[in-house]
Amino acid sequence: MPSSCGLARVMSMDFRSDTLTQPTPEMREAMMQAPVGDDVFSEDPTVRALEDKGAELLGQEAALFCVSGSMANMLGLWLDVDYGTEVLCDQLAHIVRAEMGAHAALHGIQTKSWTTDNGVATLETIEPLVSLTGGFLVRTSTIEIENTMNFASGAIQPLANYTNIAGYCQDNDLRLHLDGARLANACVATSTTLADYGKLATTVSLCLSKGLGAPVGTLLASTKENIEKARVQRKRLGGGWRQAGILAAAGIYALDHHIARLAQDHEGASLFADHVRAVAPWAVTDTIPTNVVVIQTGSLSADEVISQAATQEVKLTKLGPHIVRAVSHLGVSVDQCREAGKVTAMILERAEQQ
Ligand SMILES: *Cc1c(COP(=O)(O)O)cnc(C)c1O
């Protein structure tokens, strides 16, 4: 059984996303005990405590507890990107692929994107796309980096490379937004701190509801001035919440207890991929940096692999017609990762033999 998958134990091995975690009994206990108040009146002590803790961990002056990672990115980009100007990012970035066009639809923000082989852009990739002066070209306001890169097999942005990009932004009066939905995964995998990355960004987000295992919420961190502006805009978007301390308590618990254990998720994802690689070396990358395994399904369609795996209690998700994804998290044990890797490998192997 999973070591701590919470009250509603699920029998299947659910690898569709690390958002599927159940709050552990200890986390639920912390939620139950939390003192709460009306956060729109700035009177929720637990929300305040979470925001203070998050700001410190991320190396920024202040933080705001947001409903979702998408909302934190919306607020961050709203602060960083002037109306009618552009943000540069990877073509696989969550902000362009999975946020329902929010930045264009709500804030008049244009995106321009680069392509990489492995999800890690260097300054040499980015610089040719930058338009500093505007004139008759759209002006670049901001560079956006995602760490880890969700849709690029959980790729880590190496600190030296990221620091170089941050320095370029500073020298050229560009802002830097760091989508750190899985920043904690990157830091655990590379023995760096959240602040090593966070302090160099204009705005930085950190999801509490991904691998960290809280039920809801993302932190956005920046300067005090920026966060006060973001607080107003959050309310404008309908994201002012009341006794949110119940949720913030889960976030505090996650930051205190669920960061170091991400190493286990990384080990599990690696073992999962080892089984697949042994029969289908073309299906996965040579190494799995964090907790995301992107699998090419070859002659089978993604739907076929997903449905065959489901008959053996392994749930995967579809990323493309011939691509599926498995994400490890605290609801699946390392043994279950191994088991699910075997199941997936056998499906691919059988297809190859036909
Ligand atoms: C999950 C995720 C988000 C935010 O998603 P929400 O579902 O809105 O919380 C943002 N960026 C990345 C890279 C993500 O993986």
**Cross-strand partners of 324:** 295, 318
Q: Is 179 in the pocket of ligand 1 (CB under 6 A)?
A: yes
pLDDT for position 5: 46
pTM score, whole prediction = 0.95
Q: Which residue has the higher pLDDT, 10 or 120?
A: 120
Q: Residue 342 — pLDDT band, cuts 50, 70, 90?
A: very high
Cα-to-centroid distance, 296 and ligand 1 (Å): 22
Q: Is 181 in the pocket of ligand 1 (CB under 6 A)?
A: yes
Is the pLDDT at 6 greater than 50? The verdict is no
Cα-to-centroid distance, 312 and ligand 1 (Å): 28
Residue 60's H or E segment, with its range, is none
Strands 323-327 and 292-296: antiparallel
CA distance 24 to 72: 25
Task: Determine the average pLDDT of the residues in 248-255.
Answer: 98
Is the pLDDT at 4 greater than 90? The verdict is no
Cα-to-centroid distance, 12 and ligand 1 (Å): 24
Q: What is the largest CA-CA distance in the chain?
A: 64
| Atom of ligand 1 minimally distant from the CA of 70 | 8
Angle at 164 between CA 211 and CA 267, to 5 degrees: 25
Q: Is 69 in the pocket of ligand 1 (CB under 6 A)?
A: yes
Task: Round the average pLDDT of the chain to a whole number and report it.
Answer: 95
| Structure-block tokens of residue 307 | 């449905």
pLDDT for position 246: 98
Cα-to-centroid distance, 185 and ligand 1 (Å): 14
Is the pLDDT at 277 greater than 90? The verdict is yes
Q: Residue 336 — pLDDT band, cuts 50, 70, 90?
A: very high
Cis peptide before 116 (omega within 30 of 0): no
Strands 140-146 and 13-14: unpaired
The closest residue, in CA terms, to atom 6 on ligand 1 is 69
Is the pLDDT at 1 greater than 60? The verdict is no
